[in-house]
Amino acid sequence: MNSASANKLMIDSLPKIAHHPDKFETLFEAARFRERLLLEISQAKSRIYIVALYLENDEAGRAILDALYQAKQQKTFLDIKVFVDWHRAQRGLIGAGKSDGNAALYCEYAQKYTHQIEVLGVPVRNHEVFGVLHLKGFVIDDTVIYSGASINDVYLAQNERYRYDRYHVINNKALADSMADFIVDTLSNSKAVTCLSQENRPETKTLKPAIRELRAKLQSSSYHFIPQHINDDQIGLTPMLGLGKRKNFLNTQICKLIASAHDELIICTPYFNPPRSITRETKRAIRRGVNVTLIVGDKTANDFYIPPTEAFKSISGLPYLYEMNLRNFAHRNEKSIVAGKLRIHIWKHINNTFHLKGIWVDKTYMLLTGNNLNPRAWKLDLENAILVHDQQKLMKEQTQKEIDHILQHTQLVRSYKEIEQIEHYPPNVKKLLKRIKRLKADHLLNQIL
């Protein structure tokens, strides 16, 4: 048995929840995602758990909060909880002045309504730079709405621009219960998780013992469910968690998934900054004859990109750093690109941004995840995913339609030379990147950004 077959057996042996494909829906646009989220909130009968990196104080964020509070006023029995990153909620945007961040919005809403909802801050580490809540999945009754998107204007296409992500609606009680149980038992019941709707909040330093306890628990946590037999008319769903660089279950399964590819491997990531293990398995896949497709965002479709016509900020150098990574990878694999075994697609659509991640293997497995497949996700942030097992190719048409939709605004790279090099970057960017290289700080930046 070869290595790919052995890894496939391990992937197939993962516990699964049985699911009927007709209750698995792919949404193709951010605006549809926003509309569906609002619809599901308005129709909720028992519970609404929203988990996101942040819920922003802008038009879209307020619309979601309005919907949640209205649902609570009309149906006071609804169990509504919103979980966001503790640190991110209490600061302004990068580059903005000092503020109370989105927590000020949560306090404002708490004072306006009779029946409250819980907006809870989750501190994964003592400082944001060393780890954040990057968990995905909104649980509404028995439905899981899974996307890598957070909640603000651009993610929800509230106005003219959008940040492109993946959006899936899965109606499955066992999956919803499994994810809800983890949210309540591990997050809501932690002493480190604190209400952000109160004006007098504890300082992070007073929470340090509780944060250590929570992190230790998270590192050994998993989604609990009773494994089910998958019939020929069903697909299987495996929800997974991961935190930290040691014994990270999610990281391990992602590597095995890539290593199991026999014929076709498709990887999407917004920031081309893969961990060494991902790069290694991708190269091995190419060597054993797998057709590999990488779909990444153009530097101008990166959320940190600032046009040369606007005031320069150091953070705007990141998209160029990622592009340098991509060019170097393409250069090292130029023969595979020319031979058609490695296809690199770069996504760009007007002034919109790209936040899409996921993996498809042999038209049999599909990974839904918010994991950026970078060192930060690999080592620092709390991540999750849902692995879809489709042995009978029941989702083939829906899956291909999503892939085609993703490729719609991409340009195929035919040689590494087509990717811009540092000599052609704006002077401020060129100066910054050369200084980073000289100080050998690029490795450190790649680990935390």
Length of the chain: 449
Report how far apart, in Å, the C-alpha atoms of 432 and of each of 93, 198, 320, 426 are: 22, 41, 10, 10
If phi over 0 gives left and psi between -120 and 50 gives alpha, with beta otherwise, what is residue 161?
beta
What pLDDT does 235 receive? 98
CA nearest 378: which of 302, 290, 279, 235?
A: 279
What's the mean pLDDT in 233-245? 97
Amino acid (1-letter code) at residue 4: A
Separation CA 159–CA 136 (nearest Å): 23
Q: For residue 216, how many other CB atoms are within 10 A of its CB?
A: 12
pTM: 0.96
What pLDDT does 175 receive? 98
Specify the DSSP class assigned to residue 375: H
The answer, yes or no, to whether residue 393 has pLDDT greater than 90, is yes
Separation CA 9–CA 389 (nearest Å): 12
Q: CA Rg, the chain, in Å?
A: 22
Q: Answer yes or no: are the C-beta atoms of 142 and 176 closer than 8 Å.
A: yes
Residues with catalytic function: 134, 165, 355, 383
Report how far apart, in Å, the C-alpha atoms of 248 and of each of 13, 219, 272, 298, 311 are: 18, 7, 21, 30, 40
First-to-last alpha carbon distance for the chain, in angstroms, is: 39
The answer, yes or no, to whether residue 95 has pLDDT greater than 50, is no
What's the mean pLDDT in 373-396? 97
Specify the 3-state DSSP secondary structure of 283.
Answer: helix
Comparing 18-22, 173-177, 307-311, which segment has the lowest mean pLDDT? Answer: 307-311
Q: For residue 194, how many other CB atoms are within 10 A of its CB?
A: 18
Q: For residue 98, how many other CB atoms are within 10 A of its CB?
A: 7
Separation CA 86–CA 105 (nearest Å): 14
What's the mean pLDDT in 179-194? 97
Sequence-ordered list of residues with C-beta below 8 angstroms from that of 144, at least 6 positions apart, any chain: 137, 138, 169, 170, 172, 175, 176, 179, 386
Buried b (16+ CB within 10 A) or exposed e, 46-85: ebbbbbbbbbbbbebbbbbbebbbebbeeeeebebbbbbb
Q: Return phi, psi of residue 98, to 5°.
A: -65, 135
Q: Answer yes or no: are the C-beta atoms of 210 and 191 closer than 8 Å.
A: yes
What pLDDT does 440 receive? 59
What pLDDT does 199 receive? 86
The pLDDT tens digits for 296-310 are 999 999 999 999 999
What pLDDT does 441 receive? 57
The answer, yes or no, to whether residue 124 has pLDDT greater than 80, is yes
Which two tokens mark 368? 């839904």
The per-residue pLDDT of the chain, averaged, comes to 94
CA nearest 323: which of 270, 359, 371, 256?
A: 270
Across-strand partners of 81? Answer: 49, 118
What's the mean pLDDT in 65-91? 97
Share of the chain above pLDDT 90, in %: 89
CA 417 to chain centre: 30
Which two tokens mark 310? 């606007």
Comparing 100-109, 115-124, 236-245, 429-438, which segment has the lowest mean pLDDT? Answer: 429-438
Report how far apart, in Å, the C-alpha atoms of 203 and of each of 119, 127, 177, 192 are: 17, 12, 33, 11
Report how far apart, in Å, the C-alpha atoms of 330 and of each of 323, 324, 326, 333, 368 are: 10, 10, 6, 5, 26
Separation CA 405–CA 354 (nearest Å): 13
The answer, yes or no, to whether residue 448 has pLDDT greater than 60, is no
- What pLDDT band is residue 94 in, cutting at 50, 70 and 90? low
Per DSSP, helices labelled H in 113-189 are 173-182
Separation CA 154–CA 164 (nearest Å): 9
Domains and CATH numbers, the chain: 20-219 (3.30.870.10), 235-448 (3.30.870.10)
Q: Which residue has the tokens 């307020």?
A: 62
Separation CA 1–CA 10 (nearest Å): 13
CA nearest 25: which of 398, 292, 379, 326?
A: 398
